[in-house]
Structure 1
Amino acid sequence: MSSELRLRVSEAADLTPAVRRFVLRDPDGGALPAYEPGAHVVVTVPAGHKRGYSLVEPGGARPREYVVCVRRDDAGRGGSASMHRDVTMGTELVVSAPANGFPLEPSPRYLFIAGGIGITPIRAMVRRLRAGGRTGVRLLYLTRSAAETPFLNEFGGPEDTVHHSDGHGPLDLWPHLAVPDDDVRVYCCGPAPLMRAVRTLTAHWRASRIHMEEFTAAGTGMSLPFTAVWAPDGRRVPVPAHLSLLAALRRAGVRVDSSCEAGVCGTCRLTVLDGEVDHRDAVSTEKERLGSMVACVSRAGSPEIVVGPYENEEPV
Structure 2
Amino acid sequence: MTADTVDLMVRQMRVESAGVVSLRLEHPDGAAVDRWTPGAHLDLHLGGGLVRQYSLCGDPDDKTGYRVAVLHERAGRGGSRRVHEALRPGDSVAVSAPRNNFELIPSTRYVFIAGGIGITPILAMIGEAERAGATWELHYGGRDRTTMAFVDELERYGDRVHIVTENVDGILDLATLLGAAEPDTLVYACGPDGLLTAIESYSEVWPEGAIRLERFKAKERVADDGGDAPFRVVCEQSGVSATVSPEKTILETLEESGVNVPNSCREGFCGTCETRVLCGTPDHRDSLLTASEQESGATIMLCVSRARSDELVLDL
TM-score normalised to the size of structure 1?
0.79
Q: Which of the residues 282, 296, 311 maps onto 2:303?
A: 296
Instruction: Find 2:249's aligned residue among 245, 249, 270.
Output: 245
- Counterpart of 1:15? 16
Report the Cα offset of residue 201 of structure 1: 2.1
Give the unaligned 5+ runs of structure 1: 312-316
Distance 2:204 2:245 in 1: 35
Residue 179 of structure 1 is matched in structure 2 by 180
Percent identity between matched residues is 30
Equivalent in the alignment of 2:46? 45
Q: Does 1:229 align with 2:232?
A: yes
In 2, distance between residues paired with 1:63 and 1:280? 33
Residue type of the alignment partner of 1:261: R
Q: How does 1:98-113 map to 2 (within 5 A)?
A: 98-113=98-113
Residues 18 and 148 in structure 2, CA contact (< 8 A), matched pair in contact too: no
Q: For the aligned residues, what is the CA RMSD?
A: 3.5
Given residue 141 of structure 2, which amino acid in structure 1 is its aligned partner?
A: L
- Which residue in the other structure is 2:237 paired with? none
Which residue pairs with 2:137 in the alignment?
138
1:233 offset after TM fit, Å? 7.7
Aligned to 1:93: 93
How far does residue 238 in structure 1 lie from its aligned partner after superposition?
2.9
User: Deviation digits for residues 53-91 of structure 1, max 9, x if unmatched?
Assistant: 10001313x611011001111111111111111210011
Q: What is the CA–CA distance in structure 2 between the aligned matches of 1:105 and 1:202, rounded to whole Å?
A: 17
Letter in 1 for 2:232: V
CA deviation after TM superposition for structure 1 residue 303, in Å:
4.4
Partner residue in 1 for 2:197 = 196
Distance 1:291 1:204, change over 3 A: closer
**1:314 counterpart residue number:** none
Tell me which amino acid in the other structure corresponds to 2:245.
V
In 1, Cα distance between the equivalents of 2:107 and 2:199? 19
CA contact (8 A) 2:233 2:243 kept: yes
Instruction: Show structure 2 runs of 5+ residues with no match.
Output: 235-239
| CA gap 1:276/1:133 in 2 versus in 1, 3 angstroms | closer
Q: Is the 2:116–2:141 Cα contact (8 Å) retained in structure 1?
A: yes
Return the letter of the residue paired with 1:92: S
User: CA 1:233 to 1:206, structure 2 compared with 1: closer, same or farther past 3 Å?
Assistant: closer
Distance apart, 1:280 and its partner CA:
3.3
* SS of residue paired to 1:158: helix
Secondary structure class of the residue paired with 2:167: helix
TM-score by length of 2: 0.79
Cα distance in structure 2, aligned partners of 1:45 and 1:28: 21
